[in-house]
């Protein structure tokens, strides 16, 4: 059993080393932000990740030192889903400093999970499915649905 986990870990590391991270599309962005993520919407569907705890949310994570929030949102989305995005306008900022940006997929919708120990699943979801998912934070489905509705207005 231990050997199979070691093989999985080595394979994951090798696969992630083979992938080349895209260059950030934002030349100057929001600095001093602790964490950021993307609301990537394509054909009315939202890109979501399912983390190891079994809960869903948009891709995102910590901002590195000297990295803008937009670049972190793009990087985290690519690292977690394999989808290359371009970060646009700020969609929301939460009390903990986490910022969500509207992002656009630039090279298609194909999912490639390169962090299998962190990300269980990723896919594009229609808003009518949001209420059927177990979200990472309370009311997250409603907040994201409201943001998507406002964006369409």
Is residue 1 scored above 80 in pLDDT? no
For the segment 105-120, what is each residue's pLDDT rounded down to a tens digit?
A: 998 999 999 888 899 9
Structure token digits, residue 16? 């992630």
Mean of pLDDT values over 19-23: 78
Count each helix (H run) and each strand (E run) in the chain, helices first: 3, 7
For 2-23+34-152, CATH number? 3.90.79.10
Interatomic CA distance for residues 39 and 58, integer angstroms: 6
For residue 65, CA distances in Å to 32, 33, 69, 78, 109 come to: 8, 10, 10, 18, 29
Q: In the prediction, which pLDDT does 30 show?
A: 87
Give the residue with greater pLDDT, 4 vs 103.
103
Angstrom distance (rounded) from CA 70 to CA 75 = 9
* The pLDDT value given to residue 17: 45
pLDDT (tens digit per residue) in 75-116: 999 999 999 999 999 999 999 999 999 999 998 999 999 888
Q: Domain-by-domain residue ranges, the chain?
A: 2-23+34-152
Q: Is the pLDDT of residue 122 over 90?
A: yes
Per-residue confidence band for 151, with pLDDT thresholds at 50, 70 and 90:
confident
- The DSSP element (H or E) to which 95 belongs, if any, is none
């Amino acid at each position: 059993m231990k050997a199979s986990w070691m093989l999985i870990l080595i394979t994951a590391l090798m696969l992630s080393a083979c992938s080349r991270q895209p260059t950030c599309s934002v030349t100057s962005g929001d600095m001093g932000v602790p964490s950021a993520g993307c609301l990537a919407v394509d054909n009315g569907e939202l890109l979501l990740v399912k983390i190891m705890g079994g809960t869903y949310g948009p891709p995102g994570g910590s901002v590195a030192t000297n990295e803008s929030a937009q670049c972190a949102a793009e990087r985290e989305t690519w690292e977690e889903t394999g989808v290359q995005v371009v970060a646009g306008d700020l969609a929301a900022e939460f009390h903990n400093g986490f910022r969500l940006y509207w992002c656009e997929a630039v090279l298609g919708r194909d999912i490639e999970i390169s962090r299998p120990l962190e990300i269980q699943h990723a896919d594009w979801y229609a808003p009518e499915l949001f209420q059927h998912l177990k979200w990472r934070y309370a009311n997250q489905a409603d907040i994201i649905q409201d943001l998507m509705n406002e964006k369409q207005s």
